[in-house]
């Protein structure tokens, strides 16, 4: 089954947009001369790759959760380095070469991370071809009841 972008649910589209926005925000900070980033930051490439996985493998119900978990991990890292990020917002000129780029990149990163985190918490509707575990567990329980009896005899005897 081929997944088209128009058939994706709204939370999945929000997750993809948030991941791409995270990549753009990091590239904006890097191009503005933020010394925290190496010669070429690998983070945006990773975010784009995860967004592509979420977009093209979204037929499984758990795939969008990958993007949300990555964003949650980066958000927790962002809060762990909160004093530095507050300095990026309040005094961006003291950090890099282009203060508006550092400010806008930091603000964009905050907004896109929170957007992607919120998309991960959004309840996802169950699609007919996406049976979550509870459907399979009910089928498994019926199989076990049909083939294995409490008295120890198998159902095929």
For 10-57, the pLDDT digits (tens) are 888 888 999 999 999 999 988 888 777 778 888 899 999 999 998 888
Burial of 122-148, coded b for 16+ CB within 10 Å and e otherwise, reads: eebeeeeeeeeeeeeeeeeeeeeeeee
pLDDT digits (tens, 9 = 90+) for 72-115: 888 888 888 877 777 777 777 777 677 788 788 888 888 998 88
Cα 102–chain centre separation: 23
pLDDT at 99: 77
Quickly tell me which residue has 């649910």 as its tokens.
Answer: 9
């Amino acid at each position: 089954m081929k997944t088209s972008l128009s058939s994706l649910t709204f939370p999945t589209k929000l997750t993809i947009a948030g991941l791409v926005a995270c990549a753009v925000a990091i590239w904006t900070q890097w191009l503005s001369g933020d010394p925290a980033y190496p010669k070429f930051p690998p983070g945006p490439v990773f975010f784009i790759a995860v967004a592509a996985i979420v977009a093209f493998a979204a037929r499984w119900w758990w795939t969008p959760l990958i993007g949300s978990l990555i964003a949650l991990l980066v958000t927790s890292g962002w809060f762990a380095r909160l004093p530095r990020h507050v300095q990026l917002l309040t005094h961006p000129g003291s950090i890099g070469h282009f203060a508006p780029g550092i400010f806008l990149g930091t603000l964009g990163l905050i907004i896109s991370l929170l957007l992607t985190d919120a998309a991960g918490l959004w309840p996802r509707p169950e699609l007919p071809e996406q049976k979550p575990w509870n459907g399979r567990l009910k089928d498994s329980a019926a199989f076990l009841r049909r083939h294995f009896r409490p008295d120890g005899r198998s159902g095929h005897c």
